[in-house]
């Protein structure tokens, strides 16, 4: 199935939505279909500029450290549900200023801490493209972000909230065992908070 996915994606261009279907096989050990890292890269090359939605695929973690330049192609991606333990080279020099510029919703389902760290550093990556450090601003990175969902929140994701919290209008924690400190201070423009099955507007 993984090999077939690569062949299909390599011969398909201009995709707008890539949405995996939940497995109905009772003997399956995976909830969602799998895609290897080469397939994710070929998707970025063939449909990165047109893709709006990437949901419910488990991206198989390769054995070696990965650059994040595959995300540079996703300039129109609006919704990302990330499920992968891929370990990234945490180097903002690999990040384009236009990477994920249209991203409105991100769902952290399964992730390595380096994925969250890279997204945190995206707020400051403009210094790699300009000699004037004063041009660096949070508003340049993930400028469209408004909704963040955590399946399981971990403390090493807190820098992401520090970097982008002021943009977040809707915040959801599906597992409430661990919540970030100073959540309402960091997410100063929060309008809706969801904890498990409980949801409430935020009054200030």
CB burial of residue 72 (10 Å; 0-12, 13-18, 19+): middle
Model confidence at 124, in pLDDT bands (50, 70, 90)?
low
Model confidence at 138, in pLDDT bands (50, 70, 90)?
very low
The model's pLDDT over 158-186, given as tens digits with 9 standing for 90+, comes to 989 999 999 999 999 998 777 888 899 99
Q: Output the pLDDT for position 127.
A: 45
Please say whether the dihedral angle defined by the alpha carbons of residues 45, 48, 51 and 53, taken in this order, is positive or negative: positive
Partners of residue 149 on adjacent β-strands: 107, 172
The answer, yes or no, to whether residue 79 has pLDDT greater than 60, is yes
Q: Output the pLDDT for position 59.
A: 95
Partners of residue 106 on adjacent β-strands: 80, 148
Q: Output the pLDDT for position 202.
A: 76
Model confidence at 1, in pLDDT bands (50, 70, 90)?
low
Q: Output the pLDDT for position 139.
A: 38
Sheet of 53-55: strand order equals 17-19, 53-55, 79-83, 105-110, 147-152, 170-175, 192-195, 198-201
Q: Give the mean pLDDT of the chain.
A: 85
The answer, yes or no, to whether residue 36 has pLDDT greater than 50, is yes
160-164 contact pairs (CB < 8 A, 24+): 160/116, 160/117, 160/119, 160/120, 161/186, 161/187, 162/120, 162/186, 163/119, 163/120, 163/121, 163/122, 163/123, 163/124, 163/138, 164/119, 164/120, 164/123, 164/138
Cβ neighbours around 150 below 10 Å, total:
24
CB burial of residue 95 (10 Å; 0-12, 13-18, 19+): buried
Q: Output the pLDDT for position 22.
A: 63
Model confidence at 148, in pLDDT bands (50, 70, 90)?
very high
**pLDDT: which is higher, 129 or 96:** 96
Q: Output the pLDDT for position 23.
A: 56
């Amino acid at each position: 199935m993984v090999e077939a996915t690569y062949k299909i994606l390599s011969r398909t261009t201009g995709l707008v939505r890539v949405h995996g279907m939940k497995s109905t096989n009772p003997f399956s050990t995976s909830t969602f279909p799998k895609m290897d890292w080469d397939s994710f890269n070929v998707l970025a090359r063939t449909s990165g500029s047109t893709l709006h939605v990437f949901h419910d695929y488990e991206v198989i973690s390769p054995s070696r450290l990965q650059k994040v330049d595959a995300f540079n192609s996703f300039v129109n991606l609006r919704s990302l549900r990330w499920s992968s333990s891929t370990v990234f080279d945490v180097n903002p020099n690999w990040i384009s200023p236009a990477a994920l510029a249209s991203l409105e919703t991100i769902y952290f389902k399964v992730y390595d801490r380096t994925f969250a760290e890279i997204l945190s550093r995206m707020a400051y990556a403009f210094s790699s493209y300009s000699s004037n450090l004063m041009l660096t601003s949070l508003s340049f990175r993930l400028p469209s972000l408004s909704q963040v969902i955590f399946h399981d929140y971990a403390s090493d994701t807190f820098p992401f909230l520090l970097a982008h919290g002021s943009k977040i209008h809707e915040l959801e924690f599906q597992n409430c065992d661990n919540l970030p400190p100073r959540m309402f201070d960091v997410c100063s423009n929060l309008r809706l908070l969801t904890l498990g099955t409980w949801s409430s507007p935020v009054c200030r």
